[in-house]
Structure formats: C-alpha cells, structure tokens
Amino acid sequence: MRLQLHALAYNLGNFLRTLAIPEAIEKWSLTSLREKLIKIGAKVVSHGRYVAFQMAEVAIPRAVFSEILQRIAALRSPPPQATAT
C-alpha cells in the first residue's frame, strides 16, 4: 500500500510539474514543489458563498500561485452543452 501511495504522489507531482507550473518555477525539483506548494500551512476561512485559503507568501508569491490555479482550471474539460428538445 505504501508503494502505491508513493507512486500516486510521484505521478501527481510530476503531473503538476509538467502541465501546470509556470515558467518562473519550472526548474524546481519535485522536492521543492512539495515543500513550497503542498506542505504549506494554510488557514481555511469559510464565508457564505466561498471558501478561502489564507497562506503566507513566504514560500511562493501570490501571482505565481494564482497562475498555477489558472493553469489547473484550464485543464478541465468544458461543461457539456445543453441541448434543447
């Protein structure tokens, strides 16, 4: 089981690195990505219509993190078109 979890974590990190990382940090190793993106402490703040993660900008600047999120969102397939019958 541990080997499967390790392989899954490696594949997820490699996916993130190849498809969603901006040019500013594309030379980072998987270890750096894990320590600066995944192992960051964050405070979850829940409001009426949204949930926000409050993180320190020490590890990664806001603009770079925002670009990563935009690239991940762009990987989603578009919603299916509704057909009128």
User: pLDDT tens per residue, the chain (85 residues)?
Assistant: 889 988 988 888 888 888 888 888 888 888 888 787 777 777 889 988 988 878 777 777 888 888 988 888 888 877 777 776 6
**Residue 9: alpha-carbon gap to chain centroid:** 13
How high is the pLDDT of residue 9?
Answer: 83
Looking at residue 47, what is its pLDDT? 87
Specify the pLDDT at position 85: 61
pTM of the model: 0.63
Rounded to the nearest 5°, which phi and psi values hold at 49?
-115, 0
3-state secondary structure of 57: coil
